[in-house]
Amino acid sequence: MTLLEAIELKKRFPLRNGRQVHAVDGVSFAVADGESLGIVGESGSGKSTLARLVARLIDPSDGVIRFDGREIGNVPAARFARVSARRAIQLVFQSADDALNPSFSAARNIAVGLGQTRVGADALVKVQAIAAEVGLGPHHLSCRPHQLSGGQQARVGIARALVSEPRLLILDEPTASLDVSVQATVLKLIDGLQRRHQIALLFISHDLEIVRLMCERILVLYLGRVAEIGPVEQVLREPRHPYTQALVGATPGHGRPRATVGELTGSINPQNEACLFHSRCPLAVDRCRSEQPVLRAVGERMVACHRTEATAGLGFSAPAGC
């Protein structure tokens, strides 16, 4: 069953003299109950803005967000805290260090997820239960964030998000600041929790390898628009959008990384009558400069590209394995 649905979602940030950053520019996707969707793209692609829109921390400029069949995009962010969906949609931030209140103990930080800043008796039971589940002991609960290691802080951030028993968990680069040895433990923890509690995941990352491990489907975002969306193994093994191909090709672990495209251009007042990727695209033709491609089904996936016939058969080697 569809849990979350975004339809033609847009977020524009105004600049001076009437210009606008089109951070999220007409994004549509759906996430089923218990499903995990990875969102990848370069910095500036709109990943975090999309996360904040769905988490209802900011208001969309246009479009619909439906959660559990109900429209939540029209509830102002300032009032969303009082809507029941608030507890069902939780967010884990990138840097646990910054996202936790430094003057609160770990227990109080987790209780914030229940909408409480004091840990009452019934809250304490829930806090202790979720803390045990993420691998934090009673001695950790009385610690302030700075007394905890990076991995433990990440666990507090995850516990805070899970304590209200959400149905959708949005993770914005949850392991970006962790060492690989700690990251492995945290990824396993998130995966286990997701399976046990049947939570849907929106997993934002710039790391394709992590998304391959954590998600069933992947959404590739380019300057606020969906370039490609589909089953993760398929998309990463045989990407069909030239941008996805560039991302996969630049990832070490698929042989020598290749830099095939130039640098990202901005998303200020983009051309509506063109593919946003055309200036970096090795396959661009005249049509790409004059007509914006729409998402079309290619097998099990959707691709927004005029040249999908030219992108077939470009397979990438499987990961190295040890």
Query: Based on CB atoms, which residue is closest to other proteins, 5 or 42?
Result: 42
CB of 213 to other proteins, least distance (A): 5
CB of 156 to other proteins, least distance (A): 16
Where on the chain is the footprint of other proteins (CB under 8 A)?
42-43, 149, 179-188, 191, 206-210, 212-214, 246-247, 249-253, 255-259, 261, 263-264, 319-322
DSSP string, 213-238: HH-SEEEEEETTEEEEEEEHHHHHHS
Query: Based on CB atoms, which residue is closest to other proteins, 299 or 319?
Result: 319
CB of 92 to other proteins, least distance (A): 17
CB of 313 to other proteins, least distance (A): 22
16 token code pair: 């001076």
Query: Based on CB atoms, which residue is closest to other proteins, 119 or 276?
Result: 276
132 in Cβ contact with 139 (< 8 Å): no
d(CA 14, CA 268): 9
Nearest Cα to 298, choosing from 312, 288, 285, 287?
Answer: 312
Query: Based on CB atoms, which residue is closest to other proteins, 144 or 280?
Result: 280
CB of 207 to other proteins, least distance (A): 7
d(CA 187, CA 219): 19
Query: Based on CB atoms, which residue is closest to other proteins, 76 or 315?
Result: 315
76 token code pair: 């102002």
Query: Based on CB atoms, which residue is closest to other proteins, 46 or 73?
Result: 46
Query: Based on CB atoms, which residue is closest to other proteins, 89 or 200?
Result: 200
CB of 149 to other proteins, least distance (A): 6
d(CA 36, CA 215): 5
d(CA 105, CA 142): 5
Instruction: List Cβ neighbours of 192 (8 Å cut-off, separation of 6 or more).
Output: none
What's the one-letter identity of residue 317?
S
CB of 74 to other proteins, least distance (A): 34
Which helix (H) or strand (E) is 32 found in, with range? strand 20-32
